[in-house]
Structure 1
Amino acid sequence: MKAGAAVRATKLERIRRGRAPRVLELCSGCGGMSLGLKAAGFNLVAHIELDTTAAESYAINFSAPVAACREAWAIARDMTESDPVSLCRDLGLDGSPADQFDVLAAGLPCQAFARIGRSKLRSVTGDDDAFKNDPRARLYQRFLQYVEAVHPVAIVIENVPDILNFGGHNVPEEICGTLEDMGYLARYTLLNAAYYGVPQMRERLFLLAVDASLGRPPGFPVPTHAAKLPSGYEGARTVALRYVPDEGSRFTESPWPASTLPSAVTVRDALSDLPRITEHYKAPAVMRRRHVSDVLPYPSFTSLTDYAAKMRAWPGLPKCHAGTDGHVVRLTPRDFEIFRRMRIGGDYPHASVVAQAIFEERLSHIRPRPAQGSEAWRALHKASVPPYDPGKFPNKWWKMDPAMPSRTLTAHMGKDTYSHIHWDSRQRRTVSVREAARLQSFPDAFRFAGAMNAAFRQIGNAVPPLLALAVGRQLKLDLLRKPAARCDRAETDETSDVAAA
């Protein structure tokens, strides 16, 4: 323990002399958290990602510190099979892992923790407790082994709020307790991306830890935007927080936006400067030939929203003056007319009513009218009405409200984008890859490897870069702060409460 404290003291002194904190990120995905941390002044040194396409995207967008090993950044790795020593060797990093990294970050897989992921596991296995046996649920334990090997001065973990209730077990409390035994001060809270300039209401848990020699626990970023969350988000937060201990908890009250802050970035703010897409219903062959990497010009706009300007000129990436890529959408002809007629904010039960009306109209134009239940009647019904039960899938579809931030994007977008239908009825479609990236705050110069489904999956899995930027800026301030006198648990909790307020 003393040796680890000495290693961390050396690292902190290095950072105070003006050197950028060096990051190793586990489960990096395509690089949402890395992009934000880099913009906050951190140095990306290494990453581990299991998904082949996401690892390729990471390598496309970030430069490896050792030029000869840039191809190694594109190699998919399993954090349970990789170890810090072999990783450093593969990436051409000299010395021990403890010499190479100052910050250990991870967006640990959330499928075993998220309620929707647990439901899927139950449906596949028939076991109500299948999520407890999912190997991904134990990756946080492997993460703690990396902490022992790397001795970072700071730690960042992101996950879904449901990790607070893993079969009645509060995992963040366990992680914080273990980190405190290892010489850290650790805290966790819930942050909503809409409060930090992301045009999306995305609630996530963040756990931060810093070396105990700093004398005070890590803080969380102050919101920059105000937003009123729908009742569903408030309800989910309330449920998650039931599992925070009443006493002795490492939980910090979530930072709350002041009413005087600018309003949250809306869907219209985020997407209105991107190209209109109509080829999917006017010229489907054109859409079938289009690739995610194909660039289309921006429309001729004389002015941009602040958000759009930010997405076209992200620090450290090329500026996008003429156009950007990712303008591919799903070809689902049955539903284009439904999309057109749906009202703003409409969900699947509403879409089902619209589809039934379309079917009745089409039926009325056929002479002689097919008998109900006949082969012709069934064929027309199948071509007009989606087969889902409105009572079982109320949130399956949603037509975005342009005056509000978007709902949460998920990895399931790789299979189904109906949760985000474009508000412009003339375009009658779901969002494109680039639009999903904008809603997640990926800048236009960020490139996604793979085809459309893989790109949607990477975006839905990612940490919003703007949210990671806010967390990174606060963390860097904490690392540069002069060490405070060591204080007991009650005093550090009081300090955290003041900072949150």
Structure 2
Amino acid sequence: MNCIDLFAGAGGLSEGFHRAGFKFFAHVEMDEAACLTLKTRQAYFYLKRNNRLDIYINYVNGNISREEFYLQIPDNVFQSVINSEINKESINCIFKQIDRNRRGKDVDIIIGGPPCQAYSVIGRSRDPKGMADDKRNYLYKEYIKFLVKYSPKLFVFENVLGLLSAQNGLIFKNMKDEFKSAGYNIDYKVLNAKEFGVLEDRKRIILIGWREDINFKYPEFKIKDNKYTIKDLFSDLPFIKSGECINSYKTECTQCLKDTHIRAEDWNTLTQNISRPNNERDLEIYKLYMKTWNEEGRKLKYNELPEHLSTHSNKNSFLDRFNIVPYDKVCHTVVAHIAKDGHYYIHPDINQNRSITVREAARIQSFPDDYYFESSRTAAFKQIGNAVPPLMAEVIAKYLKKELNKH
């Protein structure tokens, strides 16, 4: 099954579809750091196929530079990664690159979701014009051009819930009409990642379209009861404090980590387990939040903080500026804002007193420990927050592959 991933980000959707056996002609992404992550993931797959993962481990452990690492990988391994914005000026060039990669083969499925900031309810509330003038409102039109060009049997379009209400529903109505005009029937559901085995409460619209000549209906996914918690997910990770980095596991691989595809039994290389350095005021706030949570079972509100810790003048709104990742259940949604600060993702162990690490955030999103996020800690957090959880993508991909095989 052959696939194109548009607005690919760090590759969460791609990872799930790769596990289901899909082959990729292209991962198209404008962010340079995310493209480096995609390239490094392609290098990982190549080295794993050729029993040379020692080179990859040497790289992620920091023993060789990225340049030295990439020189050991054939150029054709990277050709599916296309670092480009998708717009009317670039699209023909992107088509040419994809056509070189596919060599006349059909595209079975297109996946991806345009950047969600223009549809986000929070983003619209902060913009005086409600994001009405944001060009990202209309990136779906670029997506449709790929449907018209390659006529895949199916497509998967992922986005935030705010898409349904953007411009009072007009954007979504026009989108559905234009998908229909392009020759596709569509259906959508609001799906929650936690119902797919992901240890995160993350609701997203998953829109699936199918060519008019294809007999298809939207899947009824079996809802999973999560038998694991964040405590299970973090159980093998070392004790670290604010600003520290310890890249070694404290225990062997657990059943939770096997079942969620986080860590293979033979994978013993922990990377990017680095915590932000926090100032003393933030650390004092974290402790107060944790103390209230542990002793009273509730979240502290910002206007309850002592005066010397309360730096924001607005005490009537945005009172949940800080939040705790709970040990005893799944995490709330990890979003890209985690790249700016970790206040909404305080580690549940009061003795560690810090926000979560890059690796912990990646695990919450169900990225495996052998997944390496490129460029910087800030870039890694942003890529993780914007991603589709691979475990959720894998379940969707396996169902769609089964349906595609019928045709």
**1:275 is matched with which residue?**
238
**1:38 is matched with which residue?**
18
**1:212 is matched with which residue?**
212
> How many angstroms apart in 2 are the aligned matches of 1:204 and 1:264?
22
**2:257 is matched with which residue?**
307
Larger radius of gyration: 1
Offset at 1:185? 2.6
Alignment of 1:417-496 (within 5 A): 417-481=342-406
Offset at 1:348? 5.4
What TM-score, normalized to structure 2? 0.84
**1:401 is matched with which residue?**
326
**2:248 is matched with which residue?**
297
Is contact 1:185-1:218 (8 Å) kept? no
Is contact 1:179-1:185 (8 Å) kept? yes
The 1:171/1:455 distance shift into structure 2, 3 A limit, reads: same
**Deviations 1:230-261 (CA, angstroms, capped at 9, x unpaired):** xxxxxxxxxxxxxxxxxxxxxxxxxxxxxxxx
The 1:106/1:388 distance shift into structure 2, 3 A limit, reads: farther
Is contact 2:28-2:81 (8 Å) kept? no
Is contact 2:237-2:251 (8 Å) kept? no
**Alignment partner of 1:108 is 2:114:** yes
**1:79 is matched with which residue?**
86
**1:26 is matched with which residue?**
6
**Deviations 1:438-471 (CA, angstroms, capped at 9, x unpaired):** 1111110000001111111100000011111111
Aligned partner of residue 387 in structure 1, secondary structure:
coil
**1:51 is matched with which residue?**
31
Is contact 1:397-1:418 (8 Å) kept? yes
**1:335 is matched with which residue?**
282
Offset at 1:94? 5.6
> How many angstroms apart in 1 are the aligned matches of 2:42 and 2:113?
18
**1:392 is matched with which residue?**
317
Aligned partner of residue 454 in structure 1, secondary structure:
helix
After TM superposition, the runs of 4+ consecutive aligned structure 1 residues lying more than 6 A away are: none
> How many angstroms apart in 1 are the aligned matches of 2:217 and 2:181?
14
Is contact 1:185-1:216 (8 Å) kept? no
Offset at 1:69? 3.6
**1:415 is matched with which residue?**
340
**1:152 is matched with which residue?**
152
> How many angstroms apart in 2 are the aligned matches of 1:307 and 1:352?
39
> How many angstroms apart in 1 are the aligned matches of 2:176 and 2:129?
28
The 1:311/1:337 distance shift into structure 2, 3 A limit, reads: farther
**Deviations 1:23-44 (CA, angstroms, capped at 9, x unpaired):** 1111000100000111122112
- Of residues 60-69 and 131-140 in structure 1, the stretch that sits farther from structure 2 once superposed is 60-69
What TM-score, normalized to structure 1? 0.69
Where does structure 2 lack aligned partners over 5 or more consecutive residues?
Answer: 47-72
Q: Which amino acid aligns with 1:138?
A: Y
> How many angstroms apart in 2 are the aligned matches of 1:70 and 1:143?
25
- Of residues 452-461 and 60-69 in structure 1, the stretch that sits farther from structure 2 once superposed is 60-69
Taking only the aligned residue pairs, the percentage that are identical comes to 27
- Of residues 176-185 and 192-201 in structure 1, the stretch that sits farther from structure 2 once superposed is 176-185
Is contact 2:119-2:137 (8 Å) kept? yes
Aligned partner of residue 200 in structure 2, secondary structure:
coil
**1:324 is matched with which residue?**
271
Is contact 1:312-1:319 (8 Å) kept? no
The 1:336/1:466 distance shift into structure 2, 3 A limit, reads: same
**1:119 is matched with which residue?**
125
Where does structure 1 lack aligned partners over 5 or more consecutive residues?
Answer: 1-20, 226-262, 360-380, 483-501
> How many angstroms apart in 1 are the aligned matches of 2:316 and 2:258?
38
